[in-house]
Amino acid sequence: MTTSICKEIEVPNHYSLALAGIPSDGIRDLDPPKQCVLCPSAIPFSKPKLAVKEGDAVQKGAVLFYDKARPTIRYMAPVSGYVSAIEYGPRRVIDAIRIDVNDSLGVVENPAHTEASIQELDRDMIVSLLETGGLWRTLKALPFRAIASSSVVPPSIIVALGDNEPHSPSASSVLAGRDAEIRAGILALKKLAPTVHVVAHRSDTSTQHMLSDLITVHADGDFPSLDPGVILHGIKQTSDDNSAWYVQYQDVIRMGQLLLTGEYPSEIVAVISGPLVKKPEHIRTIEGVPYKHALAQLPSANARYLSGGVYTGRLSTREGSLSYSEYAVHVLSERYERELLHFFMPGAQKPSYFRTFVSALLPKKQSEASANLNGGVRACIACSACPDVCPVGILPQFLAKALYNNDIEGALDLGLLDCAECGLCSHICPSKIELTAIFKEAKQRLYKESMV
């Protein structure tokens, strides 16, 4: 269902790692969890201020905490219940808010709309509906990926219908039966910015069929071709486009739900995957679901828990949960067992971007990921492989060296702010240099400076 007005973009330097554990297509409905756990400390760039205290009763859709600097950015309780515990980490960061579910407490009701009445709303009304509904937090602004500021009109909003990071929920499964919601959501976004780029992956025919009238961009290529930063790099014409906003498509569906029903949409479709998960699958559950509820069996020793994908996710623990707008959990092995004279071995079982193992000659197999670094940290040997995988045409080795020398101007010239934080350069680096982390931290420092 390609329409001729669609823009076609291709991620030039794609590298696909066939990772084992592709989740099965059907969605399993999970029993409602007894407890929900939210992690304020996982939200970048924000100082959470609590609106509840231990023992409080909260309704689903009531404010749990908000951003201290921008109090209109609110974070809602995904369930009704009692705040059973607030856990603090180092330097008093709020690590977890635990809510014991109690459905008898009722829910917060917001005004409900229809597609036609959303059409009538103006920008300020949409802003206030999203802010009071607790979903403004899902709108992020490039290049820093911080929560968007409602006083700014962005050049465009990017909505990628899908995510091809291994392994994320399949767009066609998530979108099935959500036609009205996603359309309402995109309608609302169109009130916020002059342009909304709706992007579908070229291989995703069912989504293209379902929303053919909305889709404006086709993206091709492996991960991270559906990342908003990568899409922006593919479509931008001038530097005015750099400050585009983006929303995850599942959050657009939830925006639609919020506007159509008036109720905080806490239902999510997530993926559980990773080598230590017996049966990788899609689950339908509630935001804040603890891993121990989502996973039938909790892998124990030497297991690595991630919220989100293996490239861009968040480090978590066995006690963790799927917090706000997190749609995947991965359990990796930390693989501590050691190999003797490992670098002399032919390496038939070691898939690699490089052709340095026998595996390069064998048919591509799905590989089991582990959290092992697979080598010692060394100085850059200038192998020049990182530019070949960068989806936004950055030269990571030069960018890292510029930052190493504190040359911020040089780093900006080299495209620091174009970095999509996809992690491919760090993934393939033979010297195990934390390139992505270096770029992310530099961007965070710049963001803080630009805020003062």
Partner 1 sequence: MKKYIESLFHSLEQHVKPGKKYSKLYPLFEAFESFALSVRTVTQKAPFIRDFIDTKRYMNLVILSMLPCLIFGIFNVGYQSHLAAGLPLDIVSIMIVGIMRVIPLLIISYGVGLGWEFLSAIIRGHEVSEGYLVSAMLIVLTLPPTIPLWQAAVGVTFGVIVGKEVFGGSGRNFLNPALTTRAFLFFSFPAQLSGDTVWTYLMVGKDQLIDGYSGATALAVAASATGSVTDALVTSGFTLAQLFFGLVPGSIGETSTLLVLVGAAFLLLTGVASWRTMLGSVIGLVTMSSLLVVFSTETTVPFLSLPPHWHMVMGSFAFGTVYMATDPVSSPSLHASKWIYGIMIGVLTVIIRCINPAYPEGVMLAILLMNVFAPALDHIFLQRHIKGRIPNVI
Q: Which of residues 278-317 bind partner 1 (CB under 8 A)?
A: 304, 306, 310-315
**82 interacts with partner 1 by CB under 8 A:** no
Q: Which residues of 379-418 are buried (b: 16+ CB within 10 A; e: fewer)?
A: ebeeeebbeebbbbebbbbebbbbbeeeeeeebeebbbbb
Contact between 429 and partner 1 per CB under 8 A:
yes
DSSP code string of 256-298: HHHHHH-S---EEEEEEESTT-SS-EEEEEETT-BHHHHSSS-
Q: Does 167 sit near partner 1 (CB under 8 A)?
A: no
Closest CA to 217 of 1, 8, 436: 8
User: What dihedral angle (degrees, nearest 10) is formed by the CA atoms of 19, 20, 24, 25?
Assistant: 20
Is 365 an interacting residue with respect to partner 1 (CB under 8 A)?
A: no
Q: Which window, 23-31, 123-131, 291-299, 422-430, contacts partner 1 (CB under 8 A)?
A: 422-430
Q: Is 448 a residue that touches partner 1 (CB under 8 A)?
A: no
Distance from C-alpha of 349 to C-alpha of 356, rounded to nearest angstrom:
12
Would you count residue 13 as binding partner 1 (CB under 8 A)? no
Q: Is the peptide bond before 167 cis (omega within 30 degrees of 0)?
A: yes
- The interface mask with partner 1, positions 220-239, x = CB under 8 A, is ----------------xxxx
In angstroms, rounded to a whole number, what is the distance separating the alpha carbons of residues 136 and 126? Answer: 10
Place of tokens 């009531």: 62
Look at the block and give the residue holding tokens 């919020």: 258
Chain positions 399 to 418 lying near partner 1, rule: CB under 8 A, are: 412-418
CA distance 167 to 441: 25
Instruction: Figure out which of the listed residues 284, 352, 407, 444 binds partner 1, where binding follows CB under 8 A.
Output: 352
Using rule CB under 8 A, residue 347 touches partner 1: yes
Asked if 273 and 299 count as a contact pair (C-beta separation under 8 A), the reply is no
Q: Which of 5, 301, 382, 452: binder of partner 1 (CB under 8 A)?
A: 382
In this chain, which stretch among 145-153, 190-198, 200-208, 420-428 interacts with partner 1, using CB under 8 A? Answer: 420-428
Binding of partner 1 at residue 276 (CB under 8 A)?
A: no
Site for partner 1 in 130-159 (CB under 8 A): 143
DSSP-derived 3-state class of residue 102:
coil
452 near partner 1, rule: CB under 8 A: no
348: contact with partner 1 by CB under 8 A: no
Number of chain residues interacting with partner 1 (CB under 8 A): 81
Q: Least CB distance from residue 417 to partner 1, whole Å?
A: 4
Residues between 16 and 45 that touch partner 1 (CB under 8 A): 17, 19
Contact with partner 1 (CB under 8 A): which of 344, 363, 406, 452? 344
- Decide: is 372 part of the binding site for partner 1 (CB under 8 A): yes
Answer yes or no whether residue 381 interacts with partner 1 by CB under 8 A: yes
Residue 176: phi and psi, rounded to 5, are -55, 125
Token representation of residue 422 = 């996809």
Helix (H) or strand (E) holding 329: strand 328-333
Q: In what order do the strands lie in the sheet containing 48-50? A: 48-50, 63-67, 74-76
Interface region with partner 1, contact rule CB under 8 A, candidates 60-68, 123-131, 174-182, 421-429: 421-429
| Piece of 26-34, 81-89, 111-119, 326-334 that binds partner 1 (CB under 8 A) | 326-334
- Contact flag: residue 195 with partner 1 (CB under 8 A): no
Q: Which one of 52-60, 110-118, 179-187, 374-382 is the stretch in contact with partner 1 (CB under 8 A)? A: 374-382
